Structure 1
């Protein structure tokens, strides 16, 4: 074991002063980075200062050697600065897992440049085609929706026609009966009118026979 003087928690915190962001993304990054180094902080941090305090407590409790602590601080500081640089340049980090054959092809294509630049060229070069393909797919989907909608409307119209035809057939007898009844009613009403009109024209009292006939016609008309 080294005889180097252990670093105090304030000294450890000072080594990590580069970590100065309290955004949720930055705090999440710090937890993931330290977890990748085998350091699990106990609680989700709410500030960068809390991360540094918990980290100092963790390293002190395990009597990690000063040289190892400084190496961790340098490595984390470098990673943090790279992250900030990428963010300032609008650069994102993407982790990809490729089949070996595909990775070999990417390596071959990247001679004289970096893999990141090669992938960027491939994406930028094919993005317009991708957008056209997506637009064509969307148009096809909309056309299929419209075709399906028209088909549903036609099916509904056909069903309505069948129902109307069926109801018409079922009521044909009823309609015939109503027509016959209406004709009979017309005849009886005409006869009743004739009895009343003739009696009035002849200026004579309606005899019992005529009155009885008129009464029967009246009730026959209004009871139908």
Structure 2
């Protein structure tokens, strides 16, 4: 494990490089008391400049961005720097993405997460970034297809009744801390998801 103080102590691009391909990482944010959203119901209401820097870095590194339809709608997603796959049982493109260039956005059901990941890899998208939300993260963890969780903890306590970064039936997934960065009180952690962890997840 590497513990670093300040995002400029090393090259962030190298620090966040995928160790192999295919590689599926999920990027999530929460407060110290575990809230994944603020009072607006958006994760964007709890993030800060440090988190945004890593958010944009991960987008620049990946081949494709995967996001749940609910998250894309609530967070007001627009066209991104990479192809965007919206996970939904419906074929409707969220409003903010309807003006994206042809081929920049696809809407697909998750179905079998193992087959879903394989289909992305078959299209040449071997560095996959998922931006949640909590229900999609839980489904991917339960299927054992997540390689890495990038988890930002912002220095805030907000109380109330808010979603956590996973939502749904229980999962019990072992993690291994790879890198921890502290910057302006914000903690940026790279967690490796242990192989075989899907066996501990409830269906």
| TM-score (normalised: structure 1) | 0.19
- Using CA pairs below 8 Å that are at least 6 residues apart, which structure has the higher relative contact order? 2
The answer to which structure has the higher helix fraction is 1
The answer to which structure has the higher strand fraction is 2
| Bigger-Rg structure (1/2) | 1
